[in-house]
Amino acid sequence: NAPHSDALVLFGFTGDLANKKIFPALYAMAKRGELVPRVVGVAGRAQTDEEVHRRVRDSIEKEGGGITDGPAFDKLQQAIRYVGGDYNKPETFEALKTALDGAKRPAHYLAVPPTLFETVIQNLGKAGLAKDARLIVEKPFGRDLASAKELDAVARSVFPEDAIFRIDHYLGKEAIMNLLYFRFANSFLEPLWCRDHVASVQMTMSEDFGVGDRGAFYETAGTLRDVVENHLFQIVALLAMEPPKSRGFADLQAAKADVFKAMRPLKADDMVRGQYDGYRQEKDVAPDSDVETYVALRLFVDTPRWKDVPFYLRAGKKLPNTAVEVQIQFKPPRQALFEDAGGRPNYLRFRLQPTSSIALAARVKDVGKRFVGEQRELYACEDLAGEEAPYDRLLGDAMAGDSSLFTGLEAVEAAWTAVDDILVDHPKVVAYKPGTWGPAEADALIANDGGWQAPNPEEACGGNR
Ligand code: BG6
């Protein structure tokens, strides 16, 4: 059994991620009595204790549903220390050592832009803070294959591989874990789950908000790096992989890496890049920026199971709603007995955000003389009320040394390899209006496979479309 980390160091304490997701996660741990005794926040500028405490309180009130347990909140406040200083300076890391107050096995969590990863990792090493410690790295891991390799080399020159935890928070979501479970816990699925029966697969990740205060980060990333190459590719891997030998880290990584390795390298005409009107006027965004806020892709996984089955992925900001949905489009029946042959064939739909549900669409006859019917969705809905928030779960797992929900080196590099060409060789962004489904060019990409199916997050579970 791996020893538990005895402190958490949060680099990027004043950042968006800490504010939106990490403080609420730490509070949830405190409520369960599972908070580490020491949490050290690190960020660029000096702050008084009062400012630090207010920041944490405001975040939990706004993003974490409010403070419902006073003693747990007090415990969190007491655990927190803060170090303000330049990540390039050894003094910052000396101050961190002092703030750790004798903790021997800290987990260093890099919730900072990827451009700072190497500096922080090197300085942790130089300060002797890597010994018996863990390193938790936030995605994107690098900007492309070359920088991912470089980052890995730096991380592994300071930390052993089994102490490095690469977070893709999608893997900590119940609905995503359910994809793995649903696929391999149900025997009826397996015979259908291949190119003989599946015509295409499509996936939409829509967000109805823009880049907000994250313009500076977004300018270095764009949608492909921000959410497609990681979150959506992880979903592709769960859908497309062969049964792993076990649910353990190594076997899962190997099965996922095989999917990425089998991806046909993407080319410029497999991709549409969009940018919402107004993006160039956002804070910290270049007035002539060519960074995409929308991507649509067509990709192929050339394994015997999936050869020539197109996978369509789209993700974007300022779209009509906020949802993630996957649809597996089955082929039509081989005979055409009925008057309505040619209608949309069966499909399986996974709603992954904001709720979790699975709908299997089957045709059912309408009442009357004619043999016509319609697709009716048979539903299984998940009540997510008891869900542990992804960061709560993942930080807890990392501090306990359980890597099964993290991403391995091989899979990271294989995923970058698949997109490496189109990161540089790609069409210019096409403008789209906020509140629409992105550029029309993206519709053309999928036109031969029935078009995009828009998710409808308002829909009540158990209804029919
Ligand atoms: C993050 C991206 O990884 O995922 C964001 O950086 C995106 O741009 C977010 O909004 C979506 O995740 P969630 O869990 O908030 O839906």
pLDDT greater than 70 at residue 25: yes
Residue 216: which pLDDT band, with cuts at 50, 70 and 90?
Answer: very high
**Cis amide linkage into residue 114, ω under 30° from 0:** no
What is the CA(231)–ligand 1 centre distance, in A?
A: 9
Using a pLDDT cut of 90, give the percent of the chain over it: 90
What is the CA(280)–ligand 1 centre distance, in A?
A: 20
What per-residue confidence (pLDDT) applies to 385? 75
d(CA 186, CA 346): 18
Atom of ligand 1 nearest to the CA of 21: 15
Which whole number is the average pLDDT over 55-66? 93
Both tokens of residue 360? 């299997």
- Strand arrangement, sheet containing 373-382: 373-382, 356-365, 347-353, 323-330, 198-206, 310-316, 294-300, 271-276, 430-432
Atom of ligand 1 nearest to the CA of 324: 16
What is the CA(454)–ligand 1 centre distance, in A?
A: 19
Q: For all residues of the chain together, what is the average pLDDT?
A: 94
Question: pLDDT for 357-414, tens place per residue?
Answer: 999 999 999 999 999 999 999 988 877 777 888 999 999 999 999 999 999 999 999 9
Catalytic residue, chosen from 108, 169, 231, 426, is: 231
What per-residue confidence (pLDDT) applies to 64? 85
Q: Is 416 helix (H, G, I), strand (E, B) or coil?
A: helix
pLDDT greater than 70 at residue 132: yes
Residue ID of nearest Cα to ligand 1 atom 11: 227
Q: Catalytic: 426?
A: no
Both tokens of residue 63? 């993003």
- Ligand 1 first shell, C-beta below 6 A: 169, 207, 226-227, 353
pLDDT greater than 60 at residue 463: no
State phi, psi for 338 to the nearest 5 degrees.
-115, 160
Atom of ligand 1 nearest to the CA of 218: 8
Question: pLDDT for 335-362, tens place per residue?
Answer: 999 999 888 899 999 999 998 999 999 9
Question: pLDDT for 269-308, tens place per residue?
Answer: 999 999 999 999 999 999 999 999 999 999 999 999 999 9
What is the CA(461)–ligand 1 centre distance, in A?
A: 24
- Of 413, 418, 395, the closest CA to residue 151 belongs to 413
State the complex-level ipTM.
Answer: 0.99
Question: pLDDT for 432-461, tens place per residue?
Answer: 999 999 999 999 999 999 999 999 888 777
Residue ID of nearest Cα to ligand 1 atom 7: 227
Which whole number is the average pLDDT over 71-78? 96
What per-residue confidence (pLDDT) applies to 254? 96
